[in-house]
A and B are shown apart, each in its own frame.
Chain A
Amino acid sequence: MAKNLLDALVTKLTATNVLNGDDIRAILALPVRSRRLGPHEPVAQDGARPDECCLLGEGFAYRSKNTPDGQRQILSIHIPGEIPDLQSLHLKVMDHDLMTLSSCTLGFIAHSALRQLNIERPQVAAALWRETLVDAAIFREWIVNVGRRAGPVRMSHLLSELRLRLHAIGRTQDGTFDLPITQGELGDCLGLSTVHVNRVLKDLRAEGLIRTDRAIFRILDEEKLQTRGQFDPTYLHLS
């Protein structure tokens, strides 16, 4: 189990970082406490002071913030191989929630082990740093998305992004990917009401850009969807 979890991390990191054999062996030797969680469960909550980071091995997770009147904004969606709460290594208090979206296999790695790894393997430290920078780039793009784009453009942008990120770790097949997300949750990602999300999805289906079947999204015309979503993949820094 620990091996699979750490393999996911290696897959994610080596997709965009150059690591040598010693770096990879050091990652695979990390002590991991694995845990399975069902969908919609908290991993690290706003205000918590975790002493370990959570590696997402299998499934999807998201980070979110709630307003005092009960509104939720989803800030980012996370895919296998990512460590969504890596910031807790240096920032003691969680300033948002980390939740599972689907059933997840998670690997918890003690901060002390990650600190030691960063000291011993500077290329791994640089790769993890780079991951958090790409994280921030994705947040910037999401701000533009919820602040300045029309509904169908927001949705097209989000689906284009997820398709490319999942493709980079080998988790798309022929333009399809599994994303077990409700329309309410899509609304919380995009700052749209659930009803409007339904209409937007219907529009994109009618335009021949996507097909949806419960949790499975099929992108029928990636280029057109990207144009519809004003999507420029530079911010993902995948190459």
Chain B
Amino acid sequence: MDRWKADQMTLYYFSLRDNRGLFADENGIDLRDEAAAQEEAARVLSDMARDAVYAFKGANDYKMSVEVRDDAGPVMNASLTFELCKSRD
């Protein structure tokens, strides 16, 4: 963080959605550019996926998504889907 001056940073807001509901991060996170926002989105998706392993128990699908916006509006949307197709009953 200290390598980047505050005026080079953009405030990004992340909204998470999964089977548990919506979590909107209202404080935002200072990141240097869109690539860093994409990386954070990917990281949080992988965190959600790991926690879903513990949480989802018996569900056949689990959808996780992240919406990223800045003060000017939506920036990107990223998602992961877990789908279970059993081969026998």
Partner-B contacts on A (CB < 8 A): 40, 150-153, 184, 192-196, 198-199, 202
Contacts and interface: CB of A to CB of B under 8 A. Distances in A.
A192 to B, nearest CB: 5
Contact of A152 (B1, B51, B53): B51
A195 B40 contact: yes
Contacts of B1: 184
B55 interface: yes
Rank and list the top 4 A-B pairs by shortest CB-CB distance, nearest first.
A193-B43, A196-B47, A150-B54, A195-B44
Interface in B29-53: 29, 40, 43-44, 47-48, 50-51, 53
Contacts of B7: none
A145 to B, nearest CB: 13
Given A40-B2, A199-B25, A150 B51 contact: yes
A212 to B, nearest CB: 12
Contacts of A199: 16, 23, 25
Most chain A C-beta atoms within 10 Å of own C-beta, residue among B50, B51, B55:
B51
Contacts of B16: 195, 199
A150 B55 contact: yes
Contacts of A40: 2
Most chain B C-beta atoms within 10 Å of own C-beta, residue among A40, A152, A199:
A199
Contacts of A195: 14, 16, 25, 29, 40, 43-44, 66
A67 to B, nearest CB: 14
7 contacts: A150-B55, A151-B47, A151-B51, A184-B29, A193-B40, A196-B47, A199-B16
B69 to A, nearest CB: 13
Contact of B47 (A184, A193, A202): A193
B44 A193 contact: yes
A90 to B, nearest CB: 32
A150 B50 CA distance: 7
Most chain A C-beta atoms within 10 Å of own C-beta, residue among B25, B40, B47:
B47
Contacts of A153: 54
